[in-house]
Each structure stands twice: as C-alpha cells, then as structure tokens.
Structure 1
Amino acid sequence: MGVALAALVTSSGAALAMDDMWSLQFGPRDGAGSAVSERQRLKELERNPAPGYPTLSPANVAATQRGIARYTRIVEAGGWGTIPEALVKPGEQHSAVAALRSRLIVSGELRADAAGGETLDGTVVEALKAYQATNGLTPNGRLDKPTLAALNVSAEDRLKQLKVNLKRITELAAVVKSQSKYVVVNIPAAQVEAVALNKVISRHTGVVGKPDRATPILRSSITEMNFNPIWRLPPTVIQKDLIPQGREMQARGENVLIKTGIEAYSNGKKVDPATINWSGAAVKSYAYRQPPGKDNPLGFVKINFANSDSVYMHDSPSEGLFGSNFRAASSGCIRVHNVERLAYWLLGQNSGWDQERVEKMKETGERLDVKLAAPVPLHFVYISAWATEDGTVHFRRDLYNRDGVAQIATSY
C-alpha cells in the first residue's frame, strides 16, 4: 500500500509521499540524458499501458506450452551468449552491439539475415524496443542497465520460468474461465487488469510491495469502495516506518504527527502529539489514522475486499512512481493509476453511478462508502512468464525470487 507519512521534502522543497521518498534509490535507474519530450513520452507509456490480452486467458495455456517448446529448442541449440557490459544509445557505436544483434536473432526480435556492424542502428533499435516491450521494460531502444540485465538472463532460466508459470496459469485460467467479469493484479508486472468476457477493458499501471514487504497472492472479491477514506495505518507501517521516523524527527525537535497530519489514538481518545515519546513503549499500542485530504496516501478512493493480509487497492496523491519502470515500492497494498476508470467500471452496475459522479467525488472530497451491486472477483497473482494467443512470449522480473532462477532475473 502507499505509505505517505508525507511531509518530508525533496531538494526542491516539494512535499513527497514517504513511499516515493524511500524508493528514490530503490532499483536500477538509467542515468542517460535525453530530451524532456522523449522522457515524457516514455513516462506516459509506463503510466498508460495498452490493454493487450488478458494474462489469465484460457488461450494462454496452449500459447505458453508452445512458448516452452520454442525455448526448449533454443536451449538445446546452445541458448544465447552474454552481452558485455555497456551503455549504448541509438546511433552510437560499441562492440557490444554485435553481441546484441546475435542475442536478438536467437530470441526472435531480429531477423536472422539482419547483418550489420557495431552501430545501434534503426533496425536493431526497433528490435530492441520490441524486446523491451515484451519484457516489461521501458521501450526506449537503448542498451541500458535494466535491459542489459534482462538480456543476460540465460535461456535456461527463461525456460524454467515458463515451465513454473505454466502451472500457475493453468490453475488460474480454469478459475477465471467461468467469471464474466474480474480484476487481476499481476505482481511481477505491477499492472492491474479489468477483464470482461475474456477482454481487457482497461489496464492500469500499479505500484506493488517491495521485496521485503511483498504483496500477497490472494483470491477474493471486491465488495466496497470508500471515497475520500480515512487511512488507518497497518501494523507494518507503524512499526517499520512511523515509529522510526517519529524517533528521528523527535531527535531533531520535530513531530512526525504534526508534520504529516496523522492522528494517534489510545482507547479511542486522541493523543496530544506533543506528549508522545517515540522512544517509549506506549507508541506501539496506539492506533494511528490520517483524515481524508490531499496528503492522504489513499487518495480519493480505496477499494476493499476480504483478506487476511490487511491489503487493499487505492488511489495515490503522488503520480511519480506510475511513470517509472520499477514499481515495487509499497508496503504490500496496490496503488492504481487512473483509478477513476477502474472505480467507474466496478460501480457500473450501481444505479445512479456514472463516470461524472465518480470524478465529482474526487473534486468535492465528499466522504462516502459504497457497496457494489454485485461482488467482482479479484485475483492477486504472480505470473512472471507467459505467452499470449498471438504467439508473443512475455517475461517479467522474478520480483520476489519465487521462480527458482538466477539472481540476475530478479534484480534488474
């Protein structure tokens, strides 16, 4: 979930949600410069993915089996070589480009007759973009650090991922086959799909749990929506984030509750923040909550479903991470980009609810809880390799190291 003991400031002085602040150095970053317009275009691609095919489509079972057969042939033929460490932009020359050409020919993004030298030319750039798109990477056409790491995951490990995930897809596809409408959160992809009649109605960029605060795999049903909700801090956030930050700020003569607008309660009574000793034992017994407002980390809507892990889906007041490629930065809950569209789709069966009314709830800040007319099935899944009916094979980071593959497949 999005943790925002907001209050702390960036170098520019702007308020920044805690989750975003703590994740600024979390995961690889491409330091290469580019035009502002190009960076913005790539950020928009991250924020607004194309609908594509449902990850759990029953057709993906046979497609993934075909993908396994294809990768078995690749492995039997010797797999692919390692690309030397290099950072190469389109148009630049580097000896690593020759190895890149060979690598993309083996995996099928580049034609076998695509001869060429050591320049990252247009043909290779387009092939590299295609590779990046099917591997959950920003399609910038550069040989950057995340792309290099993904390319250097061995063919044997990619085959293993496909085999492990075939079991997951087969089980889940059988479940959703009978569901005319459902929502999927694919954790390794950090994306949310709204699916009806085996078609993706909308696909949303998400922010998922950090590896040390993993989003759980679960199956439930969405039953309720809280507009402009109160954020009740879960135990993990209190213990790992709020209390340590409270101690640090108290040592500097500051108060984390005053700074963030979070309130502490003891036996139902509000505690004066000035009286709290963050190094004492009492702080662990308090309940903490943040009222609705522009700094509330749940944003304007929280989507509820029964589960034993105290997780939920929600909006976010901070858009920053939605435009990033690496989005494992929450404490387990799922932040959803363009959540208005998902909320409208979920509430579509409710009399009196339309897109305009959902958007008005965001504008007015009105506090309201709404039950769905009918529960919508929800699946939090861990699918890091699969194929779709068009023959495309997809791979994602083994984010939580659950596929039994080399570390390089988890850390790019």
Structure 2
Amino acid sequence: MIVVPDMTLVTLKKKCKISSFLTLMLVAFHGEVFSSSMAVASQQYYQLSMAFLRYHQLAQSSAWQSLPSYDQFMLYTPQDKNALLNQLLTATGDHKAPSDPLYLAIQRYQRRHQLPASGHINKATYLSLYAGPKEKAQLIARNLKRLERLPDDLGRNYVLVNVPDYSLQYVERGEVKLSMRVIVGKPYRPTPLMVDTIRSIIVNPTWTVPSKIAFKDILPKLKKQPNYLKKNNFSVFQYKDNGVVTVNYDDIDWENINYKKIDRSAFPYQLRQSSGSHNALGRFKFNFPNSQAIYLHDTPQKYLFSRQNRALSSGCVRVEKPRQLAEQLLKSNRHYSRRKIDQILNSGQMTTLSLNVPVPVYITYLTAWVNQDGELRFAKDIYKMDKRRYISMADQ
C-alpha cells in the first residue's frame, strides 16, 4: 500500500511537471534536481518514477529478447530453466545475491505480483515474467498519472484504500498506524474511486437496503426462501401517500410476485435489517456522505478476508479491523474511551459518534506502487482499468 510522507502530494503538473521523457531521464541521473525542485512532492511519486526508468531501461536490455513460450520453457532441462530464471530475476531485482536460493527469489517475485508465493514456477508466474519490463513500464506510467490526480494535501491524518490491493491504511502524521485487508466491489459492481471525509461512525448500525440491491439480490432469495426476511431480522416498510408504513411480511406473497413487473429503481418496499451481529454492516459503519451511498463498514463474514480475490461486495468497502479503525479515528474524542465503546456495543442500540476532527478518506486504484520497504509491488487489474489506452510518458 502506498504511503505519502508528510501528507503532501504537490503534483508535477502543478509544480515542475515532467513534460517529456528527456526530462524524466535527466531526473534519473541528477536526483538532486528532482528532490530540490520538488521538495514537497510525494516520495511515492519519486520512487515510482525511478521504478519507471528502471523498467524502461530493462526493456532495452537483452534479458527479455526471444524468451521461450511457457510450453517451450517446460521442455528445458532443470539447469537451463534455472539459468534463465536467474537471469530474469536478477534483472528484476528479486534475486539479490548469487548465493541466495533461487526459490526465495521466485517467492519474492510472486509476493510482489500478488501471486501465491510457492517458490515454484507455475504458468501464472512464468507468464507474468514473460510479459516483460516494457509492459510494466507502461503500467507504472498509468499509475503515475493516477497519483497526480490525488489532492495536493492529503491532510495530517487520513484513510487510504487501494482497491486492487484489497488494502486500507490509516496514516497519522506520515506514519502508518493501522493496516488491514478490505473487501471491495465486484467487477460488475465496482467500488467507485473518490475523495471524501469521514465525519461519523455508527455503532450497531441498521441496514436500509438500497433499492437496486433489494431488486437484484434479495428478491431472488425471497423467491426461493419466502422466510428469508424473518430469518435475517428484516422489517418491511411500504411507501404510502402519508409516508412510510410498516408491513407484515407474512402478508406479502413473495413466492408469487411477478418480478418482471417490478421496477428496480422504484422497488415498492423498503427493507431494513436490525442491529446486531447478524447485520450485513456488522457493528461499525464509517460515514462519509456521498451521492453513491458508499461507505466503509464491518461485516459478519470475517472468513472472506482470508481469500486472495476479495472483489466480493456490491460497492461498499468492508474492513477487516473495524474496532481498531474506530479507535484510531476517535482518538481526538476523549470521552469515547475503549470502555465507552464497549458499553455502546453491548447496549445493542444504534449510536452515532461524531468525529471532533473529520478525517479524509481516499479510495484509490493503484496497480503499481512502492511500499514502505522500498519494494515495487503490482496488483491485478480487477476492474480492467489498465486495459484502456496507455499513457506513454514519452508522449506527454
């Protein structure tokens, strides 16, 4: 996950934008030019720019010339396989020293590319290597452009979500205080990228089901399980001329509803799930009001965080450590101690906790970044955003 030191990201577009590949090359050989004229720029941008140059230079080398296909590679002798892998992994920086076992270099490469770190070369790992540095340089260039679109000042404290990495960080004065896994939207219901501000936390939230989710997800379940609402602690309301009235779900013939006649944008019922461990939002909901009804929240399905592919939600971001995140965000609210939070949780009552100091939240999409250890990482392009036309640094 990326960290932007000092919470500043003055973009090159605003200060001393890299307008040509030649300028970027000059930066590579005269680092002081970049650091002095970009004193308040992002270290992440600098590190990723250096990674771009390294991969661009790698693309000019002979290491990736005439690589065998995977099927051809599998016909190699073990010695020839190891020789080729050693050549490629040394070039990528994953084989640190000749004395290091090759499987450790393979594991390092696999971890950097979100591949199962088996230490063995399978088809997915070989094809990733086969793609070569030219493609990686283009990918890095795309992510540099994404970094430029972030605000100049990220704030003293902030929450940063990287969708394709399925990760969240809470950063306080340039230091990562909390890291966790997240679950994001499915490819056909993607989590929208946004910049917003967390203003409150709801403990023991209820869940009012959005009309589209009710239509697409819950109605099909009701057709198969007419008692689904009762079993999962939902109340049903209906819109009337004089407002919203409660409806007894036993009075509705869910099994025989003509679903084809129901308008997904004007679902006739409002479904609301009560607070509790069964609730789809779990015990914590982190509010940053927006037109797309997107927020961070807890989940009762903790087991899903162990999955490698976590693009599973309907758009909202489910967080692995909601209690810890709430405590970090409430630090400035002294009257919300751990004991007080426990009391609220145990009460079972929905309670809104307003933040004394609202905290910015950035939902980003980075498929290439440099982590805290200075290691270049890549993530799978789960929403196919990298498949769009590449922006060449040389064309700017």
Cα distance in 1 between the residues matched to 2:183 and 2:68: 31
Question: 1:208-357 residue pairs with structure 2 within 5 A?
Answer: 208-247=184-223, 249=224, 254-267=226-239, 268-274=244-250, 275-277=252-254, 278-280=257-259, 281=261, 284-357=267-340
Instruction: Indicate how the Cα distance of structure 1 residues 264 and 143 shifts in structure 2: closer, same or farther if over 3 A, else same.
Output: farther
Classify the secondary structure of the residue corresponding to 1:203. Answer: strand
Cα distance in 1 between the residues matched to 2:126 and 2:348: 45
Instruction: Indicate how the Cα distance of structure 1 residues 325 and 85 shifts in structure 2: closer, same or farther if over 3 A, else same.
Output: farther
1:385 to 333, 356, 368: 368
Cα distance in 2 between the residues matched to 1:363 and 1:353: 14
1:71 to 32, 38, 55: 55
Q: CA deviation at 1:215?
A: 0.2
Cα distance in 2 between the residues matched to 1:359 and 1:104: 50
In the other structure, the counterpart of 2:181 is: 205
Instruction: Indicate how the Cα distance of structure 1 residues 272 and 372 shifts in structure 2: closer, same or farther if over 3 A, else same.
Output: same
Q: CA deviation at 1:276?
A: 3.3
Classify the secondary structure of the residue corresponding to 2:276. Answer: coil
Unaligned runs of 5+ in 1: 1-50, 115-121, 407-412
Q: Percent same amino acid among aligned pairs?
A: 28
Single out whichever of 369-378 and 380-389 deviates more from structure 2: 380-389
1:135-176 Cα distance to aligned partner (Å, 9 max, x none): 234544344565455444443221111001111113326232
Contact 1:297 1:316 survives alignment (8 Å) = yes
TM-score, structure 1 normalization:
0.74
In the other structure, the counterpart of 1:193 is: 169
1:164-222 Cα distance to aligned partner (Å, 9 max, x none): 1111113326232xx11111111111111101111111111000011100000111100
Instruction: Indicate how the Cα distance of structure 1 residues 312 and 146 shifts in structure 2: closer, same or farther if over 3 A, else same.
Output: farther
2:44 to 60, 71, 82: 60
Contact 1:343 1:358 survives alignment (8 Å) = no
Instruction: Indicate how the Cα distance of structure 1 residues 209 and 104 shifts in structure 2: closer, same or farther if over 3 A, else same.
Output: same
The size of the alignment, in residue pairs, is 338
1:265-313 Cα distance to aligned partner (Å, 9 max, x none): 1022222223233434468221111101221111101000021111110
In the other structure, the counterpart of 2:394 is: none
Classify the secondary structure of the residue corresponding to 2:294. Answer: coil
1:232-281 Cα distance to aligned partner (Å, 9 max, x none): 1123311221122222x15xxx4321232222210222222232334344
Q: CA deviation at 1:360?
A: 4.5
Aligned pair 1:84/2:67, yes or no? Answer: no
In the other structure, the counterpart of 2:377 is: 394
Cα distance in 1 between the residues matched to 2:345 and 2:120: 39
In the other structure, the counterpart of 1:372 is: 355
Unaligned runs of 5+ in 2: 9-41, 390-396
Question: 1:156-167 residue pairs with structure 2 within 5 A?
Answer: 156-167=134-145
1:240 alignment partner AA: K
Cα distance in 2 between the residues matched to 1:392 and 1:371: 37
1:368-389 Cα distance to aligned partner (Å, 9 max, x none): 1111112111111111112357
Q: CA deviation at 1:396?
A: 0.7
1:13-39 Cα distance to aligned partner (Å, 9 max, x none): xxxxxxxxxxxxxxxxxxxxxxxxxxx
Name which one, 1 or 2, has greater alpha-carbon Rg.
Answer: 2
In the other structure, the counterpart of 1:108 is: 93
In the other structure, the counterpart of 1:117 is: none
Contact 2:63 2:87 survives alignment (8 Å) = no
TM-score, structure 2 normalization:
0.76
Contact 1:340 1:359 survives alignment (8 Å) = no
Contact 1:340 1:358 survives alignment (8 Å) = no
Cα distance in 1 between the residues matched to 2:188 and 2:323: 29
Contact 1:264 1:289 survives alignment (8 Å) = yes
In the other structure, the counterpart of 1:39 is: none
Cα distance in 2 between the residues matched to 1:79 and 1:305: 49
Q: CA deviation at 1:335?
A: 0.5
Contact 2:159 2:359 survives alignment (8 Å) = yes
Cα distance in 2 between the residues matched to 1:82 and 1:392: 28
Q: CA deviation at 1:79?
A: 6.0
Aligned pair 1:126/2:104, yes or no? Answer: yes
Cα distance in 1 between the residues matched to 2:180 and 2:301: 15
Contact 1:264 1:288 survives alignment (8 Å) = yes
RMSD: 2.9
